[in-house]
Amino acid sequence: MKNNETRDFAQEKTYSYLEDMRREDGLSAADAGRVEEAVYYVSETSPRKQGEYTIEDYSALPEDVRVELIDGYFIVMDAPNMPHQGVIVEICYQISSFIRKNKGSCIVVPSPVDVQLDCDDRTMVQPDIVILCDRNKMTKKRIVGAPDFVLEVLSPGTSHKDRVLKLHKYRAAGVREYWLLDPDKERLLVYEFAKENQPTVYGLDGKVPVGIYEGRLQIDLGEVLQRGIRFDF
């Protein structure tokens, strides 16, 4: 697909995802309440509604209202639990150690970090981990444009969003590599968008090569789970 066609397709996926969630009652009462809370806060200053919101509306939200803005829609974010955060810390440590040892110019950034993914005013996401190699995309407040690498740790409340909606958004925006760590199914899905559409599937007990470093960096998931906070308590 050409770039504009890819982005249009990703926006169609956003609408389709939200309609499916409404139709199947996929939003819990708590999640629906948090989306309504975000809408309430911006309704005082903005005439817009779901599907029309902008980064201006997103920036007007209180810091404790956890949502992402995707194609003009506020979409709820789950608060991360301790195992989730432990995994992120350990993976970031391995990436950062590799970059420092090799005197690399890329940086690794854990959530919360705002990513203005499409360089427009209708999408702002907060990936769990990003690797950014073009520092010109950094501002004091956010990353503007696609990071080189994104990792999301799945949870029951975010699994469908991360596997479907964000998959299409990251691909369309130009992210080079996307990892989906699924603790429930004990697997890691790795997408290298420039090479193929289907993911490579790994278990959570071995080393996994990072494609943007041509395999020179390998994340030891066994060590991540051993040193981090396990998911099975």
Task: Identify whether residues 141 and 36 lie together within a single domain.
Answer: no
For the chain, what is the domain count?
A: 2
Task: Identify whether residues 92 and 160 lie together within a single domain.
Answer: yes
233 within a domain of the structure (yes/no) = no
157 within a domain of the structure (yes/no) = yes
Among the listed residues 110, 161, 164, 162, the one whose alpha carbon sits nearest the alpha carbon of residue 132: 110
Inter-residue contact 181 to 153 (CB < 8 Å): yes
> pLDDT tens for residues 111-149?
999 999 988 899 999 999 999 999 999 999 999 999 999
Task: Identify whether residues 112 and 70 lie together within a single domain.
Answer: no
The residue segments making up the domain with residue 38 are 3-76
Task: Identify whether residues 86 and 187 lie together within a single domain.
Answer: yes
> pLDDT tens for residues 6-40?
555 445 544 454 555 444 444 454 455 455 666 66
Residues 6 or more apart from 85 whose CB is under 8 A from it? 229
Q: Which residues pair with 68 in a beta bridge?
A: 75
Rounded mean pLDDT, 44-69:
86
232 within a domain of the structure (yes/no) = no
3-state secondary structure of 27: coil
Residues 6 or more apart from 21 whose CB is under 8 A from it? 27, 160
pLDDT-based confidence at 72, cuts 50/70/90?
very high
Q: Where is the domain boundary, 76, 108, 126?
A: 76
Q: What is the pLDDT of residue 230?
A: 56
Q: Where is the domain boundary, 50, 76, 102?
A: 76
Q: Which residues of 189-226 are buried (b: 16+ CB within 10 A; e: fewer)?
A: bbbebeeeeebeebebeeebebbbbeeebebbbeebbe
Task: Identify whether residues 95 and 58 lie together within a single domain.
Answer: no
Task: Identify whether residues 87 and 65 lie together within a single domain.
Answer: no
Task: Identify whether residues 103 and 65 lie together within a single domain.
Answer: no
